[in-house]
Copies of this chain bind each other. A is one copy, B any other.
Amino acid sequence: MTNSKPKILLSNDDGISAAGLAALHEQVRDLGDVTVVAPDSERSAVGHAITIADPLRVWEFEKNNEFFGYAVNGTPADCVKIAYWALLKEKPDLVISGINQGSNAGINAIYSGTVSAATEGTILHVPSFAISLASFTEQNFSYAARFARKLALEVLQHGLPKGTLLNVNVPAIPEHEIEGVQVTRQGKATFREHFDKRVDPANRVYYWLTGQKTEIEESLEVDDFVVKNRRISITPLHYDLTNYDYLDELKSWNITP
């Protein structure tokens, strides 16, 4: 090990034993000093949650009788925070979050724990990207992992602007069917949701959330459309939520204290 080796932190939201994380680790482990810090169990759709009311615990997690990484009883954002502030000896040069099982394109980006881990890296001024495979069932992450490796090398070379992360979504199709890479914006399609109302054995009502994305914008500049059209989508995101275009109009409102 030399000092010039990049230090890479891996996390995810599917949990430390997820196949997507293992595939990512396998592909990038020789790029530098790689540390895995991930939730001890699945934390999908946790948004940018952090744990403030409970203590965090950390376990060393083994795979094939070898140390694989640190498991944390917290969210993806917690994992990146505790890695940065407490577990790692040196600041990482790159955070990669994933490979998520399921697309995080479009509106999903705001619900995604995978994206939130990369956002947290960015908040800590570490170049970061999130990568997701657009299928809830496909277990072959090898192509997406190889693409993550390629992108990691690019990010280590170019860096990323302050406050900016990349959200990468890979279609779950065989490699030879992939038609390219598109730089995109976040799609605006929302969900038509439904709460399935059921009655449990104790005769109490409960609800399950279900939903379907509607009206995807048909443009090769939009992340979810691109992924549906056999391309890898890369969207630069930031965590400045200000709608600058609306500042002036809002100033014209009659709101005095």
Interface residues of A (CB under 8 A from B): 42, 44-53, 55-58, 75, 77-78, 81-82, 85-86, 107, 109-111, 116, 119, 123-124, 147, 150-151, 154, 158, 161, 163-164, 166-167, 175, 178-181, 183, 185-186, 188, 190, 193-195, 197-198, 200, 204-209, 231-232, 234-244, 246-247, 250-251, 253-257
CB-nearest residue of chain B to A240: B186
Q: Chain B residues with Cβ under 8 A from A57's Cβ?
A: 204-207
- Flag if A193 contacts B242 (CB, 8 Å): no
Bound state CA distance, A207 and B163, in angstroms? 27
CB-nearest residue of chain B to A143: B257
CB-nearest residue of chain B to A248: B183
Q: Known contacts A183-B250, A188-B240; is A51 also within 8 Å of B82 by CB?
A: no
Bound state CA distance, A257 and B250, in angstroms? 44
Chain B nearest CB from A8 CB (Å) reads 18
Secondary structure of the A contact surface, majority rule: mixed
CB-nearest residue of chain B to A175: B257
Q: Chain B residues with Cβ under 8 A from A194's Cβ?
A: 85
- Flag if A56 contacts B195 (CB, 8 Å): yes
Going nearest first, the 4 A-B pairs with the smallest beta carbon separation are: A47-B47, A47-B48, A55-B206, A86-B195
Bound state CA distance, A175 and B257, in angstroms? 9
Q: Known contacts A188-B240, A243-B237; is A232 also within 8 Å of B254 by CB?
A: no
Bound state CA distance, A58 and B235, in angstroms? 37
Bound state CA distance, A77 and B44, in angstroms? 14
CB-nearest residue of chain B to A255: B181
Bound state CA distance, A109 and B45, in angstroms? 17
Known: A47-B77, A81-B193, A123-B190. 12 other contacts (CB 8 A): A45-B52, A46-B49, A56-B209, A82-B195, A107-B123, A124-B190, A150-B255, A161-B246, A164-B246, A180-B256, A183-B247, A238-B243
